[in-house]
Amino acid sequence: MGINGYGTIGKRVADAVAAQPDMTVVGVAKTRPNYEATVAVESGYDLYAAIPERADQFGEAGLETAGTVEELIEASDIVVDATPSGVGADNKSLYEAADTPALFQGGEDDALVDVSFNARSNYEAAADADSVRVVSCNTTGLSRLIAPLREAFGIERVRATLVRRGGDPAQSDRGPINDILPDPKTLPSHHGPDVKTIFPDLSIDTLGLKVPATLMHMHSLNVTLESAPDVETVRDALADEDRLALLGEDLDITGTADVKEYAMDMGRPRGDFWENAIWDESITVKGRELYLFQAIHQESDVVPENIDAIRAVLEAEDKATSMARTNEALGLSD
């Protein structure tokens, strides 16, 4: 695999690829030398120059490069593009020129790709695709929950309020720092239509807010089911899903800061929490109405999905085998 764009998502995907028994990192493409480029080299990844005019900067910084991004793409069976929103669209012609399939991230438009992807929901749809979009962190979190609920109980309508982190921890230029923003201001928000790229016939409305927090997003959910299961039946259906973590009352996790601390205490790399963090106590059923709170670690929940998308595109394994292998290699559900 080649990874083009080695930031928040790209470096995590590179490490996750390296952890898989059936995958190898060919190299990672960077635009400029910095601490991430230094650590990439120390991690054993070959470094490729993403921008030809800046290629000399790596040598000047004492970092050896293995070639250009075009050479990385040529040498890879598939490329994961983890560049900033919109840059992936600009890069698409590079992948097409080399006839190398590419995975894009949630910041790109659905129209750019053959398939928008979530492993639990539509793994098979990515088979042999030239371009796949691993949907955003929020859409991934919603899709993982919607898929099993639909199968077990049917869904009439989903209503979700997304309380979104202002920026990732290292994004010191983002905000707000002392406000609560309706974002976007128009309702319902664009997040619902994004979920419909995975479930076209789903009825879903979403609302978005941005808050001064960096650790995770929080979703407040109300799902009208087609049947009226008791709460234990719903809890059992969710507990069966490896990428849904039910946080029991015994853990005494009060908020997203505790979830992140829990991930670090478990020895997770970078304190990543790959699963949806669902507060068990919040799961409530009244007739056909289900309510719950879930937190989404925006920097990492799409990482296992990228790994499964690679196998799905290359038709290397079926869905269950791929998801289980990914989970085991990462230490997810440990």
Q: Which residue numbers are catalytic?
A: 137
Nearest CB to ligand NAD, comparing residues 177 and 320? 177
CA atoms within 13 A of residue 255's CA, in its CB half-sphere? 6
Q: Locate tokens 């664009």: which residue?
A: 190
226 secondary structure, DSSP code: S
Q: Which residues partner with 3 through β-bridges?
A: 28, 80
Asked if residue 38 belongs to a known ligand binding site, the reply is no
Q: Locate tokens 């978005």: which residue?
A: 208
Neighbours of 143 (CB within 10 A): 25
Spatial separation of the C-alpha atoms in residues 303 and 13, rounded to whole Å: 6
Nearest CB to ligand NAD, comparing residues 110 and 168? 168
Q: Which tokens belong to 252? A: 């005494």
Nearest CB to ligand NAD, comparing residues 169 and 229? 169
Asked if residue 178 belongs to a known ligand binding site, the reply is no
Smallest gap from Cβ 108 to ligand NAD, in A, equals 6
135 secondary structure, DSSP code: P
Q: Which tokens belong to 63? A: 């970092």
Asked if residue 67 belongs to a known ligand binding site, the reply is no
Cβ atoms of 5 and 81 within 8 Å: the answer is yes
Asked if residue 278 belongs to a known ligand binding site, the reply is no
Q: Which residues partner with 117 through β-bridges?
A: 134
Asked if residue 9 belongs to a known ligand binding site, the reply is yes
Binding site for ligand NAD (CB under 6 A): 4-10, 29, 31, 50, 82-85, 87, 105-108, 136-137, 168, 298-299, 302
* Pick from 164, 50, 119, 74: nearest CA to 307: 119
Smallest gap from Cβ 138 to ligand NAD, in A, equals 8
Smallest gap from Cβ 24 to ligand NAD, in A, equals 20
Nearest CB to ligand NAD, comparing residues 299 and 317? 299
Cβ atoms of 135 and 106 within 8 Å: the answer is yes
Smallest gap from Cβ 234 to ligand NAD, in A, equals 27
Nearest CB to ligand NAD, comparing residues 105 and 290? 105
Smallest gap from Cβ 212 to ligand NAD, in A, equals 16
Asked if residue 138 belongs to a known ligand binding site, the reply is yes
Q: Counting Cβ atoms within 10 Å, is residue 162 exposed (0-12), middle (13-18) or buried (19+)?
A: buried
- Compute the CA torsion angle 24, 29, 32, 36 (nearest 10 deg): -30
Annotated binding site: 8-9, 107, 136-138, 165, 191-192, 298
Annotated binding site for D-glyceraldehyde 3-phosphate: 136-138, 191-192
